[in-house]
Amino acid sequence: MDYLSISGPARLKGEITISGAKNAALPLIAATLLSDEPCSLENVPNVADIHTLLKLLGKLGGKFIFEDHTLSIDNEAIDNTVATYDIVKTMRASILVLGPLLARFGRCEVSLPGGCAIGQRPIDLHLKALEQMGARIEIKNGYVVATAPDGLRGTRIIFDKVTVTGSENIIMAAALAKGKTELINVAKEPEVVQLCEVLSEAGVKIEGVGSDELIVHGTDREPLKLKPFSIIPDRIEAGTYLCAAAITYSNVTLHNVRADHLDAVTAKLHEAGCRIENGVGSMTIYPAARLKAFEISTTEYPGFPTDMQAQFMALATQAEGVSIIEERLFENRFMHVSELQRLGASIHLKGHTATLNGPIQLLGADVMATDLRASSALVLAGLAASGTTNVHRIYHLDRGYEALHEKLKALGADIKRLKE
């Protein structure tokens, strides 16, 4: 296994380019199952989760070529609708093949994804909605066995909770259903919006795109013709690098970003004392004179994203005063706390709320990544800490950050990727 060795405190400078959004590419790759013709996706991030979903697609009989961030997919010859445990257990977003496979083929088996480090991550809302659309859902030997021999039918669905992949699964299922499906309390994340835009371009009439209420007019199992499209920039990767600049008091420019997808993050960085200027497809951050403490409560888009909570907790260790961070979406998304404490952070946990006193001079140490975003928080803390910080188990990072240590090195960080 590899680990990252970071020497701090670092000062960063310069410009980097943000990759395509993993959480947009995953549902869009699943959406190609709704088509029986070749599809082309641009700006696809070269990260482990994408390769995992492509491995699953290959096992289903799909064909693909992934070169230089361009992905060509042909699912004309899909001859298997079983998504097996060995792949699904490594990436729970594999559940995104459930809706499209059921809608196109009338039957599929998808391994239950199971929980992960940050929480139990149920899929009850995905399954309940598919049943409302006429599917028969059984759980057998750890698999969801879904059948809809006469296809899915449009209906009115209210999501009890806002669920990103739940919304995406049902939007894809509704695209091939018979009649119209009304979806209430749908996630509004930019990744959900891009999925709707791509399906609309392919001839699926969708009303209310960008709002929390959609009406999807299905094609009654007529396969889609997806037009070529480019994946939106990764707002969480961009937010992570903005935090890297903020925590090291650096001036950095990011290219290929959608500033309008980062309003809640930008507002919080302003509160902490940073200044951000938006260019055409770019953002430049200017450091705070002294970082100020802030309060965060994670919530659904367009509120403050849970995927940025760990990174801001690292930042809070350098902010003057008492910062309060409440995690409202996941029951166990504080795995980074004990690792940050190893670096010297002063963090008090009570239920779903972390209270931090700062600023604290962090001291380099060996730390262990536990999940994707927690890993990036440890890298940020390592950039601020005095001495050497070794971040172990960085396969977590590889799931969602393309060329992270190369990008940080390009900004002047003293960071090396070494073998254990």
Tokens of 289: 């004179």
Residue (30 or 254) nearer to ligand EPZ, CB: 30
The CA distance from 35 to 74, in Å, is: 8
**Whole-number Å distance between alpha carbons of 214 and 171:** 9
d(C-alpha 269, C-alpha 276), whole Å? 8
Residues that bind ligand EPZ (CB under 6 A): 23, 26, 93, 119, 121-126, 161, 163-166, 306-307, 329-330, 372-373, 400
Q: To the nearest whole angstrom, how small is the minimum distance from the Cβ of residue 85 to ligand EPZ?
A: 18
Min CB(96)–ligand EPZ separation in Å: 7
Residues 6+ apart with CB under 8 A from 55: 87
In the block, residue with structure tokens 């888009």: 301
Torsion angle of C-alpha atoms 256, 225, 99, 93, degrees rounded to 10: -30
Residue number with CB closer to ligand EPZ (6 or 372): 372
CA angle (214 as vertex; 27, 29 as ends), nearest 5: 10
Closer of 10 and 30 to ligand EPZ (Cβ) = 30
Q: Which is nearer to ligand EPZ, 154 or 166 (CB)?
A: 166
> Angle 124-132/164-175 helices, nearest 10 degrees?
20
| Single-letter amino acid code for the residue at 168 | E
Taking the complex as a whole, the smallest distance from the CB of residue 222 to ligand EPZ amounts, in Å, to 27
Q: Which is nearer to ligand EPZ, 10 or 93 (CB)?
A: 93
H-type alpha helices, 106-261 = 124-132, 164-175, 190-201, 235-247
The verdict on whether 243 is a catalytic residue reads no
Q: How many Cβ atoms from other residues are within 10 Å of residue 144's Cβ? A: 24
Taking the least distance from each CB to ligand EPZ, the nearer of 15 and 331 is 331
Least distance CB 225 / ligand EPZ (angstroms): 25
- Of 288, 267, 268, 284, the closest CA to residue 276 belongs to 284
Smallest separation (angstroms) from ligand EPZ to the CB of 376? 9
Q: How far is the CB of 93 from ligand EPZ (least distance, A)?
A: 4
283: nearest Cα among 303, 249, 256, 311: 256
Q: Which of 108, 116, 196, 243 is catalytic?
A: 116
Residue 251: enclosing H or E segment and its boundaries? strand 251-255
Task: Please report how close the Cβ of residue 122 comes to ligand EPZ at its closest, in angstroms.
Answer: 4
Hunting for tokens 């055409």 — which residue is that?
A: 280
* Residue nearer to ligand EPZ on the CB measure, 246 or 372: 372
Sorted by sequence, the CB contacts under 8 Å of residue 340 that are 6+ apart come out as 313, 314, 317, 347, 367, 377, 378, 381
Contact call for residues 145 and 118 (beta carbons, < 8 A) = no
CA–CA dist 189, 158 (Å, integer): 17
Nearer to ligand EPZ, 335 or 362 (CB): 335
Least separation, in Å, of the C-beta of 357 and ligand EPZ? 27
Rounded-to-integer distance, Cα 163 and Cα 173, Å? 15
Residues classed as catalytic:
116
